[in-house]
Amino acid sequence: MKYIFLVLVFVVLISGCAQKGVTVTDLMDAAAMNVPMKCTLTDASGRGDLTMYIKGQKLSISIVDEENNKVSRSLNDGTFMYMWSENENVGVKMNIAGMSKLSPNSPEVQRFNQVDISKVAQYAKDVKCTLAALTDADFTAPSNIPFQDITELLSQATSPYSQIATPGDINPTNSQNACELCEAVPPGEEHDACIAELC
């Protein structure tokens, strides 16, 4: 009976928040509410002021670089993390489950951590989240942009080395094949990181 009462109190409080427009100031608390919210915050890791939309662990971020007239977008739909620029017709994505097979210190994982709400929360300051009218479409990657799957590329690039029996068996073409895979990555930071790690 107490449990039902507590649940009813929580529902009433949430309803009251929606009616009064109460602001949530902790990103993880906002995510735990599992309702669509618009959040503004300052990212202490160097990305500056951000506007993001969240619903549970789903996350959509827009970063406007006024100096270079560029809008960068990041999205986490719960299965994949996506990154693209609105000025370009290409993007990259990484499978969230596949990230666990990669080194947490790898450049790719570090970059895609920017779309993990728990990682964003570590650097979030001056958080202000309010209820927003969002749908699943707000957490869906655009269909008109091709996304290169970095997880797939990295697993293909490392597979030739897993078959090496001894150091004496190293075949120089394995490194060459790995580098060729990097050429499929769109120019930019991901491409440079791939070259640095695999070539």
Residue 17 pLDDT level (bands cut at 50, 70, 90): very low
- Average pLDDT for 19-39: 83
Dihedrals phi, psi of 104, to nearest 5 degrees: -65, -15
Compute how many other C-beta atoms are within 10 angstroms of the C-beta atom of residue 191: 16
Q: What is the mean pLDDT of the chain?
A: 72
Sign of the torsion angle spanned by Cα atoms 124, 126, 131, 134? negative
Residue 124 pLDDT level (bands cut at 50, 70, 90): confident
Tokens of 5: 């009462």
Range with top average pLDDT, 41-55, 146-160, 178-192: 41-55
Q: How far apart are CA 61 and CA 52, in angstroms?
A: 4
More confident residue, 190 or 161: 190
| Residue 143: pLDDT over 80 | yes
More confident residue, 158 or 37: 37
Q: Looking at 30-39, 54-63, 66-75, which range is the least confident one?
A: 66-75
- Report the pLDDT value the prediction gives residue 65, as an integer from 0 to 100: 72
- Report the pLDDT value the prediction gives residue 146, as an integer from 0 to 100: 92
Domain boundaries, the chain: 25-148
Q: How far apart are CA 39 and CA 61, in angstroms?
A: 10
- Average pLDDT for 23-47: 85
Q: Work out the burial of residue 149: count CB atoms within 10 Å of its CB; fewer than 13 is exposed, 13-18 middle, 19 or more buried.
A: middle
Tokens of 91: 């993007």
| Residue 147: pLDDT over 80 | yes
- Report the pLDDT value the prediction gives residue 56, as an integer from 0 to 100: 82
| Residue 162: pLDDT over 50 | no
Share of the chain above pLDDT 90, in %: 14
| pTM (two decimals) | 0.61
| Residue 189: pLDDT over 60 | yes
Strand order in the sheet with 70-76: 124-131, 37-43, 48-55, 58-65, 70-76, 80-85, 91-95, 147-149
The tens digit of pLDDT for each residue in 69-82 reads 778 888 989 888 89
